[in-house]
Amino acid sequence: MDKGDRPTDGDESADRDERNRSESATAHDGGGGVSDELEDEASDGAGGDAPDTEPEAGSRPEAGSRPEAEQSGEPDRADAYDGASHGADSHDEAPRDGEDIATKAGLGSTRSSDGDPDESFLYRFRHDREGALMWIREMLSSVAVVLLVGLLLFGVSGVWPPMVAVESGSMEPNMQVGDLVFVTEPGRLAPDAAENGVGVVTHEVGQEVDYRTFGSYGSVMIYTPPGRTGSPIIHRARFHVTEGENWYDRADDRYHNAVDCESLANCPAPHDGYITLGDNNGAYDQASGLSPPVRAEWVNGVARVRVPYLGYIRLVATGQVELNEAIARTVGSSLSPASSGFSAAG
């Protein structure tokens, strides 16, 4: 090779400068990136066989090929969204469809029902099948039923209380101690034979018209004479007298021991009224001094129906009869009769 054909030092320097600029440009584009020749080969092979492996859809770019947004300091929005979703999935479980529907519809809100103590207590009071609330509910229900029945009976009878308990044996055998007697106010449900304002048919009139109640003729009435501190008296009306009447001849001598009107108490009659007698007693109430002739205004009511044994509930509750005595009488044991009291004094 001739000297004229050899490159000069200036040319070699120019070539080296050009190579350096090319290498620096390549390093700036990716540092270890694919050369132009490899890129040409890759573009030529795109129409041929596909490469064995493809980059994953969610794979991150290589360190040397970050997008311009990362190079400028801005976070990758897609990566941030993926990270947030991944964190939510790893910590919180998605709500079930049934729960979402119930919550949106306002149904099954356990937190709201638990947070309302009044509603919870009311539900338990109505639905508990055991425990204190159940016993309180049953007790109140029983009391309510009793009061309702009492109010209905009051509406029919017109007096309060509409029922009285027999406390003595003065009306035996037609009324027993412990009987509960339904009473109506004077004049209510009066029979046709009652020709007075109190609805009372006397024993004397009952024999004539064949009117019977509680095993004998005439009406049984409840009355309270003036000055009486005990219970009202429940006896049968025997006959009616007028003021100043000598009723000795009308009286049955089995129920007094007088020989004439002057020796018979309340004779002549001090005022109009009824001569009364307990079916099991040996003397008229007026002959024994228990009461003067019973004025119409002293009558509290007229006995209509009796229910055996139920009166013991009241007698035991008020302490007038001991529980063991009530049980013994109920089963038929013979014990001394109870003293005169609320509605069966004799």
- Is residue 256 within 8 A of residue 264, CB to CB? The reply is yes
At residue 17, the pLDDT reads 56
Distance CA 308, CA 81 (A): 87
At residue 158, the pLDDT reads 79
At residue 305, the pLDDT reads 93
Distance CA 302, CA 20 (A): 136
Distance CA 72, CA 145 (A): 86
Distance CA 251, CA 131 (A): 64
At residue 337's C-alpha, the angle toward residues 239 and 311, to 5°, is: 80
Please tell me the pTM assigned to this model.
0.57
At residue 119, the pLDDT reads 61
- CA atoms in the 13 A half-sphere facing the CB of 24: 6
Mean pLDDT by 10 residues, the chain (346 residues): 48 55 51 44 45 46 45 46 45 48 43 53 79 85 84 79 89 93 90 88 95 96 93 96 97 95 96 97 96 96 93 85 80 47 45
